[in-house]
Chains A and B, each alone.
Chain A
Amino acid sequence: MPDRYTPQVVDHLVRPRNAGEIPDPSGRGESGHAACGDIASFTVGISENVIEEVRYKVYGCAACIAAGSALSELVDGKRIVEAARVSKTDIEEALGGPLPAGKEHALTLVLDALHKAFEDHWNHAAGEMLLSGEKKPGNGGKSVVAAMSGGVDSAVTALLLKEAGYDVVAVTYRLHDGEKGSRSCCSPDTVLFARDTAHRMGLPHFTLNLKELFDRRVMQDFVGSYREGRTPNPCVACNAHVKFHASAFLADELGYHHVATGHYARVEQGPTLGRPVDESKDQSYVLWPVPQELLARTIFPLGEYRKTEVRAIAEERGLAVAYTPESQDICFIPDGNYRGFVRKQVEAEPGDVVDRGGKVLGRHAGVVDFTVGQRRRIGVSAPTPLYVTEVRPTTGQVVVGRKQDLEVREVAVRDLNLFLDAGEAASVQVRYNSRPVPCTVEETTDGEWIAYLDEPVVGVAPGQSAVFYTEDEARVVGGGVVARRAA
């Protein structure tokens, strides 16, 4: 690494291009912090997906000033997709070679500021769309918007699509403030890492800010479920209202046809969801709420691969993500303490622990602490293990019983999203990582389904997803939410 600046850096320092700011920009982005010593801001004027004007400002070292100047030149007049492809390496090349040791952050800083301006532009363009989950119709072409989290699955997804000849745009979502590596100045590490990964593959990258939508449709629903004695599934809620809609929005704005994610599932005739090659990774269960018209334009490249193959592809192609650990749990509760998260937002009211006959066995601190099937921390001693069989938020009662009291033979399902004819439903899966149970389905007058199970199932909780599969269990007929059992 060199120990001094190139003449190009000095030239940009003394004669910065596109200095200043646009008064009424399409998007504005700022990265960095005065206390870190560097701040960069970009304003962009975008029309018909072309960057008609770009202006930047920097307080910072010569590297930051020059990098901002060079970046502004690189994107000025370009189509937004091409501008989003400009990488740190491109900026370095424009500056005549690598920056001196310790100055690389300048590249991250100015790129982050520009990308935040793009993000702001998309937020303006989306208006209410990214808040409500409404969507516009799509266009044609062999083009795809691929969601990219920074993990191995989504990175290989984008790579496979690129190698299959698609025009790929990678997109990362800002969903909440608890992202790994969050700080006040730059974007969280996850976003920066995803951007780097996309750029190393030569792909354009955008970030969409979905925090408000995610909060409204996923996090508040999560908390509300506990308050109402239901067991939430935030990943399902996210698939139902956030991810696919946001990808489709960006695809529509860019005139791209498809959307893709790194889920292990397939799109089968119908269209409907199908189980993937790697059944141990099957995610068809959490994808049931994706609207059929969105599923029709969705690609799940990983449905054809085993997880081990995906890791091998990543290693073979030298993707740095190959060694990242599996993401687990709920993304907005990284410490896994769901109760603590819910308790922060919900006032817990004490109530009675009762048996099925209504006899009071003890007291509890709040119904939000309980879900159906729970065995631990009930606070009542008994000769045989006790399980929560029902949570009654209106009376504040937590009903407990023996394990066999958890068994159900019929499940009521509401809020259905159907891909195939009801007649094709032959089995139902009521929990992630479990097998479907054969059943017969009856439709009620108010649009709910009653699934009569061939064998009893333990621990079916209101709020969970019930997903119906075809006779051969290869395809999803539809899914819905387990309703509260009639008392």
Chain B
Amino acid sequence: MIDLVYLDNAATTPLDGRVFESMLPHLGGCRGNPSSLHALGNAARDAVEGARASVAALIGAAPEEVVFSSGGTESDAIAVLGLARSAPSEKRHVVVSSVEHAAVREDTKRLEEEGFEVSWIGVDADGVVDLDEFAAALRPDTALAATIWANNEVGTVEPIRELASLCSEREIPFHSDAVQAAGRVPIDVSEVPVSTLAISGHKLYGPQGVGALYVRGGVSPEPIVYGGGQERGIRSGTQNVAGIVGLGAAAGLAREEMDERVAHERSLCDRILAGVEKIPDVILNGHRERRLTNNVHLRVSGVEAESLVLFLDSLGFAVGSGSACSSGGHKASPVLIAMGRSERDAFSVVRITVGKDNTVEEVDGFLQAFTVAVGQLRELSPLYAG
């Protein structure tokens, strides 16, 4: 096992030991197909339906409104592509925030290629979607609107209740990617009129490769894969039973432990923020209050993201860079650019996301390492005169 202090929980969370235990019976020996009629099939189906109820309970949904998928990206695709494509042919317009996860962003670009007109909705400097701009963008021919529940990079929590209400008043389907939010922010679809909502297993201490899509009763997105008609025909293909059971267990634990986790994570993040803000020119990105309680996203002037992440890695701390360096140079994060950051500032960021199992000692060790890494990289940087 690699000995690292893990502070990159927005990328993926550790698998909870209790979740792991719940999955084991479905990984070995003769397992049934949930579609089979015999006893093994019945057992598998019972397991899947139990998980469905558990996921539904986490978000205030009815079990039959939950569709299992391979993860957040697929759930987003079913919702965004499927809802837009199933809209009446005269509705060729979509409204999407400019701070979406790559999944929704790329689905939307795909729709643009298919001939949909896209209104990208701007955000303020903290990454909060502009409600007025969003409302003004909604039109009679709008087929779909979407906004991420809580941003995966900077952690800003969006005014989803207001956005979803604006859409429901106009009978426009509204999708929200709640992959980061689920289990960290109370979500109740009986109060917030979203049409669809994406969830991922491995962001809430469940397994990778499994996710769910909430699909409100009466909403029917066009499938993106066709086959045996599983999951109400919305997502064909034999279910990943072990994964689904894990997701169900994780959702159940999240629901039971949410308050405790949030309190713990918040205290760790406050400690981190207090520590790093002692270093000059280290600034919090995203909204200070309206944010995920486990996310500290920082601009570190004069230090490039990747070098800082690898430096911290060499000191035993795993954090996220939040910006991908591609061939021939870097690509600045579209989220940070949408928030009005310069490209240079968008390259100088680091994302620290704590989890329920992190400790105060780990955070204190991190703060020491961070101070060393930033100091040394700044000494080397031609862009920092400290």
Contact = CB atoms under 8 A, between A and B. Distances in A.
Interface in A1-51: 5, 10, 13-14, 16, 19-20, 30, 34-41
B290 interface: no
B379 interface: yes
A348 B180 CA distance: 67
Interface in B280-318: 302-304, 306-307, 310-311, 313-315
Interface of B: 302-304, 306-307, 310-311, 313-315, 325-330, 332, 342-344, 347, 376-377, 379-384
A57 B382 contact: yes
B307 A62 contact: yes
B311 A14 contact: yes
Contact of A36 (B306, B313, B329, B377): B329
Q: What is the predominant secondary structure among interface residues of chain B facing chain A?
A: mixed
A192 to B, nearest CB: 13
B371 to A, nearest CB: 15
Contacts of A62: 306-307, 310-311
Contacts of A41: 382
Shortest 7 CB-CB contacts between residues of A and residues of B: A37-B330, A102-B327, A34-B344, A61-B306, A57-B382, A62-B310, A59-B383
A295 to B, nearest CB: 44
A35 B379 CA distance: 20
B322 to A, nearest CB: 13
Given A59-B303, A62-B310, 10 more contacts: A13-B311, A14-B315, A19-B380, A37-B347, A38-B330, A57-B381, A59-B380, A61-B307, A62-B307, A102-B326
Contacts of A16: 380
Contacts of B382: 30, 39-41, 57-59
Contacts of B344: 34-35
Nearest to B305: A61
The DSSP consensus for interface residues of chain A is mixed
A108 to B, nearest CB: 9
A169 B384 CA distance: 37
B328 A102 contact: yes
Contacts of B381: 57-59
Contacts of B313: 10
Given A30-B382, A34-B343, A61-B304, A101 B327 contact: yes
A102 B382 CA distance: 23
B380 A37 contact: no
A37 B325 contact: yes
B310 A102 contact: no
A101 B326 CA distance: 9
A60 interface: yes
Contacts of A19: 379-380
A441 interface: no
Contact of A57 (B303, B328, B376, B380): B380
Nearest to A109: B329
Contacts of A65: 307, 377, 380
Interface of A: 5, 10, 13-14, 16, 19-20, 30, 34-41, 57-62, 64-65, 101-103, 105
Nearest to A39: B382
15 contacts: A10-B313, A10-B314, A13-B310, A16-B380, A19-B379, A19-B380, A20-B379, A34-B383, A38-B329, A58-B381, A59-B302, A59-B304, A61-B307, A62-B306, A105-B328
Contact of A61 (B330, B343, B379): B330
A60 B304 contact: yes
Nearest to B328: A105
B329 A105 contact: yes
A60 B382 CA distance: 10
Contact of B330 (A13, A30, A36, A57): A36
A61 B383 contact: no
B304 A37 contact: yes
A59 B347 CA distance: 10
A104 B307 CA distance: 16
A37 B302 CA distance: 11
Contacts of A59: 302-304, 380-384
Contacts of A64: 304, 307
B306 A35 contact: no
A288 to B, nearest CB: 44
Contact of A5 (B303, B304, B310): B310
Question: Max chain A CB contacts within 10 Å: which of B329, B347, B379?
Answer: B329
A412 to B, nearest CB: 56
Contacts of B307: 13, 60-62, 64-65
A38 B310 contact: no
Given A10-B310, A10-B314, A30-B382, A38 B326 contact: no
Nearest to B372: A14
